[in-house]
Amino acid sequence: MRRRSRSVLAVESLDNRLVPAVSLQFDYSLDANGFFADASRRTALEQAGAELVSRLDTDFAAIAPAGGNTWSLLLNNPSSGEQTEIKNPTVPADTIVVYVGAYNLDAAEAGEGGFGGYKAGGDSDWLNLVKTRGAAGFSLWGGSIAFDLDLNWNFSANAPARGQTDFYTVATHELGHLLGIGTAPQYFNLVSGNTFTGANATAANGGDPLRLSTDHSHLVQGTQDHGAEASLQPRIVSGKRYGFTNIDYAVLQDIGWTASETATSPPTATAPITSAAPAGWTTVTSDLVALSQPGGSVQLFRQNAANQLVPVGAVYSPFGETASAVRSAIADVTGDGNPDLVFAAGPGAGSQVRVIDGQTGAPVGGTFSAFESSYTGGLFVTAADVDRDGHADVVVTPDQGGGGRVVVFSFATGEPKVIANFFGIDDMQFRGGARVAAEDINGDGAADLIVGAGFGGGPRVAIFDGSTVATGTPKKFVNDFFAFSGPDLAGLRNGIYIAAGDLNGDGKAEVIFGGGPGGGPRITVLDGATLTQNPVAAVASPWANFFAFDAAQRGGVRPAVRDVDRDGRLDLVVGSGEQLPAAIRVYTAANGTPGNGLQAGYYTEPFGDTPIADGIYVG
């Protein structure tokens, strides 16, 4: 949604009122294409506007030209985009006038809005009134918003269906620009580098400045507040509804507006509903497989009666539409005995983490960043019960550009709490990131952590005793080792992907290693019982060792462990790597005999045969 540079009102602080002072007056006189001829569309716009300003307060003087005191409004015509002049209108007190209409906007533009300019003549009092309308001295009579004429719009009070563009979402977004977000000089005065540094916005974001999109007029895609999508992101996703969050209001406060007491989520039915299941939500069960898709979305799959993986439920975009991959895990984070969804953002989307209740679709603990705001390299994620409290803990490591740090979050109280933060790779200078799995290898009931080097590192592995992780001094079972045997394999420098699970049924998790990007699709499975005692022996005689796909491929391979066929035994699910079509192959645990304990199952390309730059991630 393109923006126009205009100025905006700043206001003084007033006491709380039951009826807000700010009133939006929508003017349909320039709606030459009849977009708002339907009264229901006007009602939808006016309700969206009234809700947005319900938390804003100020006093505006009336602008009433008379005698030699004249003025003209200057605005972009909302039905053509051309500069338009309106001579000598009267603007009532405490009112902002918004001219609205629609025409065919540029591709990918749903709306275009901003505040208007003016020209005036007359005595000094009159000129000062027009120039400094509003207590804080900014000029704001209003502005204009143009909507795209031909989109499949949702004008209802309910969330849109998939494929629809939500009118409420676009209207409130464009009103935010009209009020100065991404358009006013006062906004850009608080932009530093790629962040917005206003004190209110920083506080609302947990103490970190807000990251901005490349145009600096929007918050970075994926910005959320307590699980609610922020309004002023650059792109909206069809089928979803966003509204103003505390973060959006905090930006308004920083540029001069006064907002009433903040809430933890949008307050009304027309704002995003984060406590209810998303449209098309399916209850998460232990047999489901989560597969990442291009565009920052995830689709759940289940095996059907014909032993094929088929999609179930809606496509889910945990961080909004983004070019980065999403990594996921499925585990019982809430402690209710049912699996939940855990998402982590990939490269380019910071270090965002989000947990979704698998039974309700509601967010758990809100979206948060695992690392400092300056880090944008993305995360790898797993989840398992490290501290033996009945709640799966969320374990994250950085991707490329980060060190070998491991951070463990407990959600036992419903909010994320760091219970461990340490370096899993004993090389403080290494910046290829790390990859992690968590399962109980030694059978003591605590999930142990298996940490492998990321890109640029060899297939080096460290294993930490889960019972010691939360003590502040995590201890290793054995010395670090290379996951693959042989001089050629040990010399690889593309890292490894890791999964873990009890494939042979002895109560101790096997550890599965997949080749990193640039390497072949080799899968090596090491017996857990042997591994904690003698990793050299385990690597020399792996429980399984094979190529999951064509051995000539060089995108690596990503493993995960799920009970896909619902027989009570875990299965191995592998996904293809970089620059290849998204391919999945399932291996069932046929028996517990080392060397042939996995039986090759079916193959599928769930998203077609188009190569995917970052490959597919399985959770």
Lowest pLDDT segment from 38-47, 241-250, 258-267? 258-267
* pLDDT bucket at 619, cuts 50 / 70 / 90: confident
Strand pairing of 434-439 and 448-453? antiparallel
**For residue 152, how many other CB atoms are within 10 A of its CB?**
10
pLDDT surpasses 70 at 274? no
The CA distance from 329 to 319, in Å, is: 15
Token couple for 468: 């010691």
Coil, strand, or helix at residue 185?
helix
Token couple for 257: 């507006």
The CA distance from 13 to 259, in Å, is: 9
Q: Please name which of 267, 276, 268 lies closest in space to residue 246, comparing C-alpha atoms.
A: 267
Lowest pLDDT segment from 43-52, 312-321, 460-469? 312-321
Q: Please name which of 408, 336, 326 lies closest in space to residue 619, comparing C-alpha atoms.
A: 326
pLDDT surpasses 60 at 136? no
CB 147 within 8 A of CB 111: yes
- Residues 319, 251, 375: CA angle, nearest 5 degrees: 45
Q: Please name which of 275, 248, 272, 277 lies closest in space to residue 262, comparing C-alpha atoms.
A: 248
Half-sphere exposure for 106 (CA within 13 Å, toward CB):
5
Q: Please name which of 436, 420, 437, 428 lies closest in space to residue 473, comparing C-alpha atoms.
A: 420
Tokens 């608080």 found at: 190
Instruction: Give the tens place of pLDDT for each residue, 538-587.
Output: 888 888 888 888 888 888 899 999 998 888 889 999 998 888 888 889 88
Q: Give the Å distances, CA to CA, from 345 to 57, 102, 207.
A: 37, 36, 20
CB 453 within 8 A of CB 425: yes
pTM tops 0.85, yes or no:
no
* pLDDT bucket at 204, cuts 50 / 70 / 90: confident
Instruction: Give the tens place of pLDDT for each residue, 216-234.
Output: 899 988 788 776 788 998 8
Share above pLDDT 90 across residues of the chain, in percent, rounded to a whole number: 31
Instruction: Classify 282 in phi/psi space as left (phi over 0), alpha (psi -120 to 50) or beta.
Output: beta
pLDDT surpasses 70 at 178? yes
pLDDT averaged over every residue in the chain? 82
CB 330 within 8 A of CB 290: yes
* Alpha-helical runs (H) found in 419-527: 466-469, 487-490
- Tell me, letter by letter, the H, E, C secondary structure of 115-158: ECEEEEECCHHHHHHHHCCCCCCCCCCEEEEEEECCCCEECCCC
Q: DSSP state, 69? A: B
What class, spelled out in words, does domain 288-618 have in CATH? mainly beta
Token couple for 286: 């232990």
Coil, strand, or helix at residue 252?
helix
470: amino acid identity, one letter: A
pLDDT of residue 488: 47
CB 41 within 8 A of CB 155: yes
pLDDT of residue 392: 95
Residue ranges per structural domain of the chain: 23-189, 288-618
* pLDDT bucket at 10, cuts 50 / 70 / 90: very low
The CA distance from 139 to 121, in Å, is: 15
pLDDT surpasses 70 at 275? no
- Tell me the β-bridge partners of 496: 515
pLDDT of residue 70: 92
pLDDT of residue 509: 94
pLDDT of residue 486: 61
500 vs 317, higher pLDDT: 500
pLDDT of residue 88: 92
